[in-house]
Homo-oligomer: A and B are copies of this chain.
Amino acid sequence: MPTIKDVAERAGVSVATVSRALNGVPSVDPVLAKRVHAAARALGYRANGVARSLRRRQTDVWALIISDVANPFFTAIARGVEDVAQQAGYSVLLCNADEDAAKEARYLEVAERSLVSGVLLSPTITGSDIGRLQASGVPVVTVDRNLSEPVDSVLADSATGAFRATEHLLEQGWRRPACITGPRQAATAEDRMRGFLDALARHRIRRGRSLVRHTNYRADGGREATAELLDAADPPDALFVANSELALGALEELTARGLRLGRDIGMVAFDDAPWAAFIEAPLSVVAQPAYEIGVEAARLLLDRITAARKRPSDHPGAPAPPRTVLLGTRLIVRESSRRHR
């Protein structure tokens, strides 16, 4: 691989001039600039990004650490982030924490070591530690889930979405809805359970907590929780499910038992997965604006990065306080939640 030195030799100028010409510094003699570009092209020169980063103490990449690549909700976020990033000249490094706090921590460390210029994170647990990153001045924005410590974040209004979904089930005449939600430490899992419980309380249904199951945010968890609920002494007649992966698991179990949605059991799930409209009884869902979440988060990050550049380590003003963008959800009623007899 040719280096800047090779280009300099071939163009008959110093490395400094090459660097300036290639980086578009205006004060370079156009004639020399032309020679430099020609030489670079002839040699197939490509700047060594690593050396550049070392010197600039910053890279043009962001890390996007999501909790589960297999979940279409998160990949939609990724697209939103990516579109904004590309536009602004950044590349995004997508990391899959796989709902595993240890994996997440590893990626957080990689991000730190690699001098990424920003991190977008959907924290596996509310206690995820971004302290080191923050300390080294790397802007962090959380998506989908927030942390216990305050930090820029873009969230959907889970609690309200869950409340409305549950209320909708109740209004349809289902008497005993249960809730299958994610791990206790996941912010969204708590919020959605909260919305569910509030709706039950509002309708004077007692002992709501006994109708809640916490599990991992994956299909297998959804299946197990469904089985457990149905095998209980007083089984539910409807399900509020906290994401589309869990819904897939619930569907499996219901199908295995020959239970038909909308007749034998009602269901609403979070996330409008691409398949939701096509299953036997099309699935009613709480749709989150996933792509927009990605876009907004990327904008927040961009803001922080440019703000940091303006205030380079000395401090003519404290950094802006953390901002939270809360986006609304939309209840899409299809067949699974309607009561047929």
Contacts and interface: CB of A to CB of B under 8 A. Distances in A.
Contacts of A93: 93-95
A96 interface: yes
A251 B274 CA distance: 11
A126 interface: no
A69 interface: yes
A75 B79 contact: no
B49 A114 contact: yes
A46 B78 contact: no
Interface string A88-125: 00011111101000010011011011110000000000
Interface string A38-76: 000000101111110110000101000000011010011
Contacts of A248: 274-275, 278
B278 A255 contact: yes
B59 A69 contact: no
A115 to B, nearest CB: 5
A92 B93 CA distance: 9
B75 A114 contact: no
A159 B154 CA distance: 45
Contacts of A54: 48, 50-51, 54
Contact of A50 (B59, B94, B103, B106): B59
A293 B51 CA distance: 34
A51 B69 CA distance: 30
A314 interface: no
Nearest to A110: B91
A79 B69 contact: yes
Contacts of A136: 1
Given A50-B53, A277-B255, A94 B91 contact: no
A122 to B, nearest CB: 15
Given A50-B115, A91-B107, A69 B61 contact: no
Interface in A136-172: 136
B219 A274 contact: yes
A226 to B, nearest CB: 13
Contacts of A92: 95
A279 interface: yes
Top 9 nearest A-B pairs by Cβ distance?
A: A49-B113, A275-B275, A94-B94, A69-B75, A280-B280, A278-B279, A50-B53, A50-B54, A93-B93
Interface of A: 1, 44, 46-51, 53-54, 59, 61, 69-70, 72, 75-76, 78-79, 82, 86, 91-96, 98, 103, 106-107, 109-110, 112-115, 132, 136, 219, 248, 251-252, 255, 273-275, 277-280
